[in-house]
Chains A and B, each alone.
Chain A
Amino acid sequence: MTTIDVTKPMPPEAGRPAEGTNYLNHTTGIKSWLLTMDHKRIGVMYLVSILTSFFLAGIFGLLIRTELIAPGHTIMDADAYNMMFTLHGAIMVFLVIIPSVPASLGNFVLPIMLGAKDVAFPRLNLFSYYLWVTGAIFAVAAIIFGGVDTGWTLYVPYSTTGTEMNGIIFLSMAVFVLGFSSIFTGLNFIVTIHRLRPPGMTWFKMPLFLWAIYATGIIQVMATPVIGITVLLLIVERAFGIGIFDASLGGDPILFQHFFWFYSHPAVYIMILPGMGIISELISVHSHKHIFGYRFIAFSSVAIALFGFIVWGHHMFVSSQSPLMNVLFSAITFSVSIPSAVKIFNWLATLYKGSISLNTPMLYALSFIFLFTIGGLTGLHLGTLATDIHLHDTYFVVAHFHYVMMGGAIIALIGGIHHWWPKITGRMYSEFWGRIACGLVFVGFNVTFFIQFVMGSKGMPRRYWDYTDKYMIYHVISTVGSYIMALGFFITAAYLIHSLFRGRKAPANPWGGRSLEWQCSSPPPAENFPEPPHVGDCYDFSVLEWDEEEQGYHWRHDIPHPVGEA
């Protein structure tokens, strides 16, 4: 390891490969992608696959909203509608949101943030990608061979003896395989963070994104095996009637719900924690302001991960679970709201006295705070026993989890994509269209889902293909909102794809990021860094200065660059 001569000014180009090769072009050919063990390429493959699934499940969502624009039959019959909401939910949860941030952006950014060449187990990383692909194939098989109409929650006995659609077997297989993909990714990241941190990067010098990914990894490894066992039991129960969930054979359908939510509630935090990690980075970088309350944000991630394991029963307040259990789960549920609130307050304090730039990634980060605050606060109505009884299984719940899952996890993902797009692709997208699209998504989202709180509190049950006339006005508004949101996403897809071909070449550090991924070129070289970089305070922005010519930030000449001269 070389020591850095602190007296000698470093050139801004340090760490950049001279001949202009990078991870995208140092090898070519389809095989060099499909068999790659480069975490960056695997991250890109994940990103493309996940966004494709997002597109598909988003189309399903639009079809659902279109069917609901009027009561009765609008564009599809009840069975088709039931399939639509099942697939929308299952694909969004299992193929999109759960893997989204860790597997795509996490894979790309995590090793570079650590100054490492790759994750700890590159082969396992590629294997988990192919497990994801296998899971996706099973999900498609579920649609083709028999269809599936159980809802993503797969509740028994509907899923075992209640439905004629045999696609449920394939969907269960998909969930099982995707679970292993998720476990391996989590395991890989945990080991990478433990073993591959560069010299000088102690736990409390890691970027907060890594704390979030680490906490997520713990949940992935500990909770996911339970859903694997649960769907296997479901398959055996449906195929052979072993009776573990069948009341007439001495089993218990409520047991399934306990198993299911024992995974699926922690899974909510698998979905939201990485998003929160992204927001911690975005808020700090785009304010050029040291993150406020680093340790509190870091510990709140771990607290959320741990508390998240013991609140699953709040999905079952009206299931006939014992009243004592309901009371205990309600009490613990409220405790999990505190670390989330702590994060929000710390982000606000980070903005205080910052130098806030309103570019596209920051607009998404601010949207996240707005939407996640609504999603989190409306959780209070649902955690409270007396009010949850009325609101349970109504559109209030649908609105609540869309504010958290989509307004939280997906908005953070889109914000993260915009933040790291220059690094991943080496191209800048249109800032103008980026802001327009973000505005459309934000407005469309609120029009779609805010009205659903009202509809739900008025008693409109979820998963209804048909409804009474008095709910029509709310459904019409919601559907119109979904079209606005879709327009925003189509514009996003258009300018991002356009940028790949026509976008301005991205500087190494367009936003003035301080963590290590901004200290290598855009796109990064295949091996990230020629040697382990030196680590400082990853939220100290005073070492950067604006370069007008480059339209980006570079390291101040009087301060040693973290990436030593090769």
Chain B
Amino acid sequence: MIAHATLLALLGTPSPAKIPGSYFGMPEQASTIAGDVDWMYDFITWLCIFFFVVIVGAMVYFVFKYRRRAHVADTGGPTHNTPLEVTWTVIPLILVIAIFYIGLKGYVHITTPPANSYEIEVIGQRWFWTFRYPNGAAETNILHVPVGRPVKLTMESDDVIHAMFIPAFRVKQDVVPGRRTELWFEATREGEFDLFCAEYCGTQHSQMIGKVIVYDEDEFEVVIEELARWIDKVPDEKLHLAGALMYNQCSSCHTLDGSDLIGPSFKETHELFKAAGTRQLIDGTTVAVDDDYLQQSILKPLDQIAKGYPSSMPPGIGTQLGDRKLQALVQFIIRLDEVAPDGNLIEVNRQDIVVEEVEAEEAE
């Protein structure tokens, strides 16, 4: 560390974001444990390189030195040597016990969340993550966390097994139906980091990815406060635009341009609504595509499965939205021709559709 600091000082002003990382390809470090994990990773890798060089070096040397010159038998080397056998059994044994021990120490640290951790609930569903904060805020696929404060994720799955994996933090934990699993970390720097699902979960497994955004403590409070309340500050006539902001929760199964994914395209549903049409269901009945149908399809998706589509939408998606967000999604589909005129979403910014409540209350 000291040598590294000296080196950085000699080389000029270091970027403050740069932290000494692994020699062997580990990604950027952004949590308190990352440095320890990388140290172990590098230590084991050096050990591997040592043994690899010894083994392959000896092999290449012997092959060269004792290559066959004539069709003769060997030159009479030994056929056994018990002290040698004991040596090359005991030395690796001592080394692996050492590796086990340092791995164990690191592991205990990694799996023991500090008592004062900030708790966030996580729900894994095909194929997105929902993060719920103590103040009622919820967000899809983006995990907002404060820097320098331990964060504990309590995770549940609504369908199959998923796994929360944040490479920059060196943490991973399966999210298993019927169990609550935990994972903790303490971010050491602000910024955006990858978040992956690491347990195969089906068609869109590789799209079940998101971001961790790390803020300083004050900014974090502002962000989750805003997250909890922004939907209440959207006036009714702009709810469809709020729906556009939420569409990323739906996008892995429902397109806007009429093409089919797992579920019917919103464009088709929108056109049926406009034409006051009906939709054929899997049980042979038909249903009118109206306001009520749209609401029920989000809240109880398994009750009315459109013909030709699998019954795979998790019921939890709708029920956790809350009434206002549900209305926003319904309005989004009803007014799809305004928010996605050519199958592509228009650009919507949260600031533009939110009316500050303070002013509204004062006006009353």
Cβ contact within 8 Å between B85 and A296:
yes
A74 within 8 A of B: no
Please name all residues of chain B whose beta carbon is closer than 8 Å to the beta carbon of A458 when the two chains form the complex.
25-27, 167
Cβ contact within 8 Å between A318 and B174:
yes
Q: Of residues 352 to 371 in A, which have CB atoms within 8 Å of B's CB atoms?
A: 352-358, 366, 369-370
A325 within 8 A of B: no
A100 within 8 A of B: no
Please name all residues of chain B whose beta carbon is closer than 8 Å to the beta carbon of A387 when the two chains form the complex.
37, 40-41, 44, 103, 106
Q: Of residues 1 to 60 in B, which have CB atoms within 8 Å of A's CB atoms?
A: 22, 24-27, 33, 36-37, 40-41, 44-45, 47-48, 51-52, 55-56, 58-59
The docked-state distance in angstroms from the alpha carbon of A422 to that of B202 is 47
Nearest-neighbour CB distance to chain A for B123, whole angstroms, equals 15
Q: Of residues 313 to 355 in A, which have CB atoms within 8 Å of B's CB atoms?
A: 318-320, 323, 326-327, 330-331, 334-335, 337-338, 341-342, 344-346, 348-349, 351-355
Report the stretch among B155-163, B233-241, B280-288 that lies at the interface: B155-163
Which residue on chain B has the smallest CB distance to residue A286?
Answer: B68
Please name all residues of chain A whose beta carbon is closer than 8 Å to the beta carbon of B104 when the two chains form the complex.
327, 330, 385-386
Count of chain B residues with a beta carbon within 8 Å of a chain A beta carbon: 91
11 more contacts with CB within 8 A, not counting A296-B85, A352-B77, are: A162-B202, A251-B178, A352-B62, A358-B67, A380-B99, A383-B103, A386-B37, A386-B104, A390-B171, A458-B26, A541-B73
Cβ contact within 8 Å between B200 and A463:
yes
Which residue on chain A has the smallest CB distance to residue B164?
Answer: A318
Q: Of residues 95 to 135 in B, which have CB atoms within 8 Å of A's CB atoms?
A: 96-97, 99-100, 102-111, 126
Nearest-neighbour CB distance to chain B for A349, whole angstroms, equals 7
Nearest-neighbour CB distance to chain A for B63, whole angstroms, equals 5
Cβ contact within 8 Å between A320 and B179:
yes
> A82, A348, A384, A462 — which one has the most chain B CB atoms within 10 A of its CB?
A384
A394 within 8 A of B: yes
Cβ contact within 8 Å between B165 and A459:
yes
A377 within 8 A of B: yes
Cβ contact within 8 Å between B107 and A318:
no
Cβ contact within 8 Å between B206 and A373:
no
Cβ contact within 8 Å between A82 and B202:
yes
Which residue of B161, B181, B203 contacts A155 across the interface (Cβ within 8 Å)? Answer: B161
Cβ contact within 8 Å between B107 and A253:
no
A389 within 8 A of B: yes
The docked-state distance in angstroms from the alpha carbon of A358 to that of B22 is 39
Which residue on chain A has the smallest CB distance to residue B178?
Answer: A247
Cβ contact within 8 Å between B198 and A461:
yes
Please name all residues of chain A whose beta carbon is closer than 8 Å to the beta carbon of B36 when the two chains form the complex.
386
Which residue on chain A has the smallest CB distance to residue B168?
Answer: A459
Please name all residues of chain B whose beta carbon is closer than 8 Å to the beta carbon of A545 when the two chains form the complex.
71
The docked-state distance in angstroms from the alpha carbon of A85 to that of B66 is 43
Nearest-neighbour CB distance to chain B for A129, whole angstroms, equals 33
The docked-state distance in angstroms from the alpha carbon of A35 to that of B167 is 56
Cβ contact within 8 Å between B99 and A293:
no
Cβ contact within 8 Å between B74 and A78:
no
The docked-state distance in angstroms from the alpha carbon of A248 to that of B179 is 10
Please name all residues of chain A whose beta carbon is closer than 8 Å to the beta carbon of B227 when the two chains form the complex.
none
Cβ contact within 8 Å between A157 and B161:
yes
Q: List 30 A-B contacts (CB under 8 A).
A: A155-B161, A157-B161, A247-B178, A289-B77, A293-B81, A319-B176, A320-B179, A327-B107, A331-B100, A337-B92, A337-B96, A338-B93, A345-B55, A353-B77, A355-B74, A357-B68, A366-B59, A380-B99, A381-B48, A384-B44, A384-B99, A393-B163, A393-B172, A457-B24, A459-B167, A459-B168, A459-B196, A464-B206, A546-B71, A553-B71
Interface mask (A524-564 → B, CB under 8 Å = 1, otherwise 0) = 00000000000000010110111000000100000000000
Which residue on chain A has the smallest CB distance to residue B85?
Answer: A296
Cβ contact within 8 Å between A355 and B176:
no
Please name all residues of chain B whose beta carbon is closer than 8 Å to the beta carbon of A380 when the two chains form the complex.
44, 47-48, 96, 99
Please name all residues of chain B whose beta carbon is closer than 8 Å to the beta carbon of A149 when the two chains form the complex.
202
Cβ contact within 8 Å between A151 and B200:
yes
The docked-state distance in angstroms from the alpha carbon of A545 to that of B71 is 8
Nearest-neighbour CB distance to chain A for B279, whole angstroms, equals 21
Please name all residues of chain A whose beta carbon is closer than 8 Å to the beta carbon of B48 when the two chains form the complex.
377-378, 380-381
Cβ contact within 8 Å between A253 and B178:
yes
Cβ contact within 8 Å between A287 and B66:
yes
Cβ contact within 8 Å between A385 and B310:
no
Cβ contact within 8 Å between A330 and B103:
yes
The docked-state distance in angstroms from the alpha carbon of A517 to that of B110 is 55
A254 within 8 A of B: yes
Q: Of residues 133 to 181 in B, which have CB atoms within 8 Å of A's CB atoms?
A: 159-161, 163, 165, 167-168, 170-174, 176-179, 181
The docked-state distance in angstroms from the alpha carbon of A457 to that of B33 is 15
The docked-state distance in angstroms from the alpha carbon of A344 to that of B110 is 34
Cβ contact within 8 Å between B80 and A292:
yes
Nearest-neighbour CB distance to chain B for A396, whole angstroms, equals 10
Interface mask (B241-263 → A, CB under 8 Å = 1, otherwise 0) = 00000000000000000000000
Please name all residues of chain B whose beta carbon is closer than 8 Å to the beta carbon of A490 when the two chains form the complex.
none
Please name all residues of chain B whose beta carbon is closer than 8 Å to the beta carbon of A323 when the two chains form the complex.
107-108, 111
Please name all residues of chain A whose beta carbon is closer than 8 Å to the beta carbon of B45 when the two chains form the complex.
381
B201 within 8 A of A: yes
A310 within 8 A of B: no
A291 within 8 A of B: yes
B72 within 8 A of A: yes
Which residue of A79, A386, A393 contacts B199 across the interface (Cβ within 8 Å)? Answer: A393
Q: Of residues 145 to 201 in A, which have CB atoms within 8 Å of B's CB atoms?
A: 149, 151, 155, 157-158, 161-164
The docked-state distance in angstroms from the alpha carbon of A151 to that of B44 is 30
- Asked, given contacts A248-B177, A355-B73, A458-B27, whether A330 binds B198 with beta carbons under 8 Å apart, the answer is no
Please name all residues of chain B whose beta carbon is closer than 8 Å to the beta carbon of A467 when the two chains form the complex.
206
Interface mask (A454-483 → B, CB under 8 Å = 1, otherwise 0) = 100111011111111000000000000000
Nearest-neighbour CB distance to chain B for A364, whole angstroms, equals 13
The docked-state distance in angstroms from the alpha carbon of A319 to that of B73 is 54
Nearest-neighbour CB distance to chain B for A148, whole angstroms, equals 12
Which residue on chain B has the smallest CB distance to residue A386?
Answer: B106
Please name all residues of chain B whose beta carbon is closer than 8 Å to the beta carbon of A392 when the two chains form the complex.
172, 198
